Structure formats: C-alpha cells, structure tokens
Amino acid sequence: MKKIVMILLATVMGLTLAACADNTELTENNGNIGSSQNAEDKSSAPSEAGNESEQPSKTPELNTDDTASEPEDSKILVAYFSATNNTEGVAQKLADGLGADIYEITPEQPYTDEDLDYGNSGSRSSVEMNDPSARPAISGSVENMEQYDVVFIGYPIWWGEAPRIMSTFIESYDFSGKTLVAFCTSASSGFGSSDSALRTATSGATWLDGHRFPADASADEILSWANELSIN
C-alpha cells in the first residue's frame, strides 16, 4: 500500500513540475515579444531633433524686383496762366498726358475784357506790358514746390512776351536744381524769346526749349512735343 501511495505522489509531483516549466517558458517568450515590439515602435517614431538636423538651412531669397534699382520718374508740375482759357486747354491736356499735377496762376484782380483790350494803350494789360517792372499779384501759391523736379510754365503771348504775372510767379519760388520748360498759346505769334525774362529771373535751373501751340492743339501733338524732351 505504501508503495502505491509513493508512486502516486511521485506522479503528481512530476506533473506539477512539468506544468511550472511550461508556464515559465511562456512567460519568458511573452516578455521577449513585448521587447521586440517596443524596439520597432521606437525606431519608427519621428525624432524632432533628427528632423531639425536633416532639414536644409534656409538661405536668404535674392531680391528679383528690378524696379528697386530703377530711378523713379520725375515729379512734374504744370503751372499756367490763362486769361481767356486758351492756355488752360493746352495745360490740361499736357498734365493729363504726363500724369502731372496742375496749378492755375490766378491773379488777385481778374482780367476783364476791357483789361485785355490790346488796342487801347490805356488798358490794364497794355500798361503792364509797357512796364517791365510790373508784377501783378497772384492769389494763392503752389504748396511744396520743392517736391517737383520738372515744372512746365504755360501762358498766352502778350506783345511777343510772357505776361508780367508770369514774372511774379517765377520770382516767388526757388527753382534751383529743377528743369523748367515754357509753352505758350497764340493765334499767330511764334514762341520766339517770350521766356527770356523768365529765364533771367531764375538761377540754378535748367531751361529746355519751349514751344508755341494753337488753342486747339490736340493731345497727341502736345504729348509728342513733351515726350521728345526726355524729362523722365
């Protein structure tokens, strides 16, 4: 009987030891699988430090804007006196075509038809033109004249000259370093030396050749002349 009991105990102990051995192997295998998966996950995860080191360094972009090196267009003013609106039409077409600012030289005392009676030696215009020192007063002024590089100066021809009010205008500003261009309107008289008194009254300015236009001059005719000056 004791032998039988001993045999049974030995059998049970053998089975128990075998089961423990299997559990230990499974536990070790499971641990190895987990370690392998963790290693793969870590190798495939993005590395911020690695990505930053692999990105190429940024180089400053070159300025390809050609306009930066091109000179700016000249700032232009068209200033004019027009007693009968003939010069005004030419001045407006010139300013529109050049994209220029425009300024009307307005006398404090407007000229009446009687003032403009050239056949009357006692009319206002006749008296002024017979007196080289006459300087009719101007109402208003050009703001920031210093900003302009080029000034076109328009007027009607009176007795072959620019009206005296144009001398008032010229003597009111410093045109040093500027380019000045005169233009006039008349029924028949040419430009001649109508701007000579204006040239004499300025210093340090560059004068270009002026031009005479009929009152009905076209925009194309006016701008063709202006473009030939190559002022920009």
Cα(62)–Cα(161) distance, integer angstroms? 56
Is 41 contained in some domain? no
Q: Are residues 13 and 111 in the same domain?
A: no
Q: Both 173 and 217 in a single domain? A: yes
Q: Which residue has the higher pLDDT, 36 or 10?
A: 10
pLDDT over 90 at 22, yes or no? no
- Which residues make Cβ contacts (< 8 Å) with residue 225, sequence separation at least 6? 211
Lowest mean pLDDT among 15-24, 63-72, 136-145: 63-72
pTM as predicted: 0.68
Handedness of CA 164, 108, 106, 200 (dihedral sign): positive
Residues 12 and 74 in one domain: no
Q: What would the mean pLDDT of 71-84 be, rounded to a whole number?
A: 87
Paired tokens of 42? 């870590």
Average pLDDT rounded to a whole number, residues 105-111: 97
Is 59 contained in some domain? no
Classify residue 137: in a domain, yes or no.
Answer: yes
Stretch 110-131: mean pLDDT, rounded?
A: 96
pLDDT at res. 48: 36
Task: Assess whether 99 and 199 both reside in one domain.
Answer: yes
Task: Mark whether 89 and 187 lie in a shared domain.
Answer: yes
- On whether both 74 and 137 belong to a single domain, the answer is yes
Q: Which residue has the tokens 């390809």?
A: 64
Residue predicted with more confidence, 12 or 203 = 203
Structural domain containing residue 12: 1-34
Q: How many separate domains does the chain show? A: 2
Q: Give a yes or no: residue 54 inside a domain.
A: no
- Please indicate, yes or no, whether residues 109 and 177 belong to a single structural domain of this protein: yes
Task: Give me the CATH number covering residue 163.
Answer: 3.40.50.360
| 98 and 177 share one domain | yes
d(CA 14, CA 8): 10
Q: Put residue 216 in one of left, alpha, beta given phi > 0 → left and psi -120 to 50 → alpha.
A: alpha
Helix (H, G, I), strand (E, B) or coil at 212: strand
Is 176 a domain residue? Answer: yes
If phi > 0 it is left, if psi is from -120 to 50 it is alpha, else beta; for residue 178 that is beta
